[in-house]
Chain A
């Protein structure tokens, strides 16, 4: 890959006295999909929240040379960081179209926004059919598509996905990951995805990191991790 686009160095983060990340080092190349694997409570969600400014951090985060650490989430959104949070963050009383337009809230290019609305609807035809519908009435899978669509409306430089498969049927999840891969290939969007389902994550990702107790314990290409005996035993549920 062409150099490191996102670099994380010695990142510490937590909530009040509870420290969750204890010095995470991470590098993601431009246009890469990077998967973060790990058991419950390892700090995967906190890592994403640290990258989008939702928790206080100590340490370095740089995106294409720009220091991100310490900036609030709205400032990071303006710098092109789109975070699809755990629980999807749907604006339930608003319509699907309004949810999507909110994704482009920080953009000023009216024509580009209209074009991207069209583009997102092409990725997720089910959303096009429901543009005028209240978002709270969507199914879980549709809301996850809406959340990803909303993030794409930013035309993000860095897309953060937190557990996109959570609570969804396997077919829906597979479709979501296929679309994430397509977006990544067509638009060279850099993606960091946290995922419990290691099979899926390793299928779509270029590189992966295993997070345990707030530290990266294993890194490598997705292919290498898939072949790794320890990963297989802990996260893939079989022995190689």
Chain B
């Protein structure tokens, strides 16, 4: 039993990272109705920015806020320069643009920092907390705490600030939002900045567990897609729950399902995506698209 709980906790730690990237995907999707395939690469780029700050001698916890600020500005800039020109274009066009962005950011990171792997400092102290026969590493606790804090801040932003209210209005009905005086263009840019920031958190948290290299987020992005699909692409809360569920499912499948092991674990998110799309396409917490005839 303790072994099982141990696996669940490990899974939650991984799931929290998927959850934050899934949250970034969901933010963009709520605003623009598109799936941003470049979200993982933006997170990877942010992680390199953080690495650059630490390589310049800054302690991690000083580099983090700077990185998040750079990511926010970068996200807004990308909305202005890359996405704005295709606003209102067919979905496929916009999706292809994000795929192009994926390739561009990936190549840019390789060009700037090379494709050789780099060590990324673990911001949390080595060691673990033991309680009731369970061992929880500081790293797992730290990841859960950081992601929890990000969720809390987003909740406050959306529920208790005017900017957040404006953002939700734009997501609900952009035409009406414009009529009541919300600057929709500015709000969309803000949404991209916010998504890039939340995504950056996932990159910075996952980098110490993997190695820092331009393709590091590829796998994480698949898990995040599974999480967002499971939770519902229009539900931020769903993305978090979805991330945690996918993380736990992946860990348990790796530990207990013989033929899965550690090699086939990546099959778990794909199975999740397939099942959700077959059984409940809108996800657990999403709203089914209903159109009146």
Within 8 A of A (CB), among B67-105: none
The answer to whether B169 has its CB under 8 Å from any CB of chain A is: yes
- Residues of A near B172 (CB, < 8 A) are 91-94
The answer to whether A155 has its CB under 8 Å from any CB of chain B is: no
What does the 1/0 interface line of A61-92 toward B look like (CB < 8 Å)?
Answer: 00000000000111001100001010001111
- Residues of B near A90 (CB, < 8 A) are 173, 176
A89 contacts B181, CB within 8 Å? Answer: no
The smallest beta-carbon distance between A198 and chain B, in angstroms, is 26
The smallest beta-carbon distance between A160 and chain B, in angstroms, is 10
The smallest beta-carbon distance between B61 and chain A, in angstroms, is 36
B165 contacts A98, CB within 8 Å? Answer: yes
- Residues of B near A52 (CB, < 8 A) are 179
The answer to whether A106 has its CB under 8 Å from any CB of chain B is: yes
Within 8 A of A (CB), among B128-155: none
A74 contacts B165, CB within 8 Å? Answer: no
What does the 1/0 interface line of A102-118 toward B look like (CB < 8 Å)?
Answer: 11011000000000000
B178 contacts A72, CB within 8 Å? Answer: yes
Within 8 A of B (CB), among A12-67: 52, 54
The answer to whether A154 has its CB under 8 Å from any CB of chain B is: yes
The one of A85, A93, A105 that contacts B162, using a Cβ cutoff of 8 Å: A105
CA distance A93 to B183 in the complex (A): 20
The answer to whether B55 has its CB under 8 Å from any CB of chain A is: no
CA distance A74 to B176 in the complex (A): 10
Q: Which residue of B lies closest to A91 (CB)?
A: B172
The answer to whether B177 has its CB under 8 Å from any CB of chain A is: yes
Q: A74-B184, A89-B173, A105-B162 are in contact. Are A94 and B168 (CB under 8 A)?
A: yes
Within 8 A of B (CB), among A216-230: none
The answer to whether B182 has its CB under 8 Å from any CB of chain A is: yes
B169 contacts A74, CB within 8 Å? Answer: no
A73 contacts B179, CB within 8 Å? Answer: yes
Q: A74-B182, A74-B184 are in contact. Are A85 and B176 (CB under 8 A)?
A: yes
| Most chain A CB within a 10 A radius of its CB, from B173, B175, B181 | B181
- Residues of A near B165 (CB, < 8 A) are 98, 101-102, 105
Q: Summarize B's interface: helix, strand, loop or mixed.
A: helix
Q: A94-B168, A101-B165, A105-B166 are in contact. Are A73 and B178 (CB under 8 A)?
A: yes
B168 contacts A77, CB within 8 Å? Answer: no
A89 contacts B166, CB within 8 Å? Answer: no
The answer to whether B2 has its CB under 8 Å from any CB of chain A is: no
The one of B168, B180, B182 that contacts A150, using a Cβ cutoff of 8 Å: B180
The one of B178, B180, B183 that contacts A154, using a Cβ cutoff of 8 Å: B180
- Residues of B near A94 (CB, < 8 A) are 168-169, 172
- Residues of A near B168 (CB, < 8 A) are 91, 93-94, 98
The one of A54, A93, A101 that contacts B179, using a Cβ cutoff of 8 Å: A54
A102 contacts B169, CB within 8 Å? Answer: yes
The smallest beta-carbon distance between A49 and chain B, in angstroms, is 10
CA distance A93 to B165 in the complex (A): 12
Within 8 A of A (CB), among B155-177: 162, 165-166, 168-169, 172-173, 175-177
- Residues of B near A102 (CB, < 8 A) are 165-166, 169, 177, 180, 182
A91 contacts B169, CB within 8 Å? Answer: yes
Q: Which residue of B lies closest to A52 (CB)?
A: B179
Task: Give 7 nearest A-B pairs by CB, closest first.
Answer: A77-B181, A89-B176, A106-B181, A91-B172, A73-B178, A74-B181, A105-B181
Not counting A74-B179, A91-B176, A105-B180, a sample of 14 additional A-B residue pairs whose C-beta atoms are within 8 angstroms of each other reads A54-B179, A73-B178, A73-B179, A83-B179, A85-B176, A89-B175, A89-B179, A90-B173, A91-B172, A91-B177, A93-B287, A94-B168, A102-B180, A150-B180
State the B residues within 8 Å of A (CB).
162, 165-166, 168-169, 172-173, 175-184, 287
State the A residues within 8 Å of B (CB).
52, 54, 72-74, 77-78, 83, 85, 89-94, 98, 101-103, 105-106, 150, 154
